[in-house]
Amino acid sequence: MSIERWEPFREMISLRDAVQNLLAESLTKTEGDGASLVPPVDVHETPEAYELHVSMPGIKPEDVHVTVHGNSLTVMGETRPEAKDRQGNWLIKERRHGKFSRTMTLPSVIDADKAVARTWNGVVELHLPKAEKERPKQIKVSC
């Protein structure tokens, strides 16, 4: 049995992350129905990179902007309604349109020069390699 030292600040989120979450919850609401335009994100970490999947149905690649600064990632853009002239009244209109933004802080610095982004089937897929200096290195022990 091992004893681990308790550090009370280890489990606390940073003030910057707390303010970011507060702003994301309060400032991303639309005026009409109160629904937010914050796209859902899945983040998977491997030893070499982060793989992100951002759900954005109907988005065009030219309407998405991805920015990396150190270990901070921002995905933003805008979805636009169809520009069709229609006769009659809407009975149901649930698809939301407008600007969206999602910013998150990743645990390691990203090598933005090697990052790849593509859209496929309503999902923006991001491959974000970790910077070389951030990757764990194996050191061989010799006699």
62-84 confidence digits (pLDDT tens): 888 999 988 899 998 888 777 77
| Below-70 pLDDT ranges, the chain | 1, 8-13, 24-36, 134-136
What pLDDT does residue 126 have? 95
What pLDDT does residue 36 have? 54
What pLDDT does residue 26 have? 61
Q: Fold for domain 37-82+96-133?
A: Immunoglobulin-like (2.60.40)
128-143 confidence digits (pLDDT tens): 999 887 666 777 787 7
Are 47 and 136 in contact by the 8 Å Cβ rule? The answer is yes
Structural domain spans, the chain: 37-82+96-133
The Cα–Cα gap between 106 and 121 comes to: 25
The Cα–Cα gap between 60 and 24 comes to: 23
The Cα–Cα gap between 98 and 39 comes to: 12
Both tokens of residue 132? 């070389």
What pLDDT does residue 117 have? 93
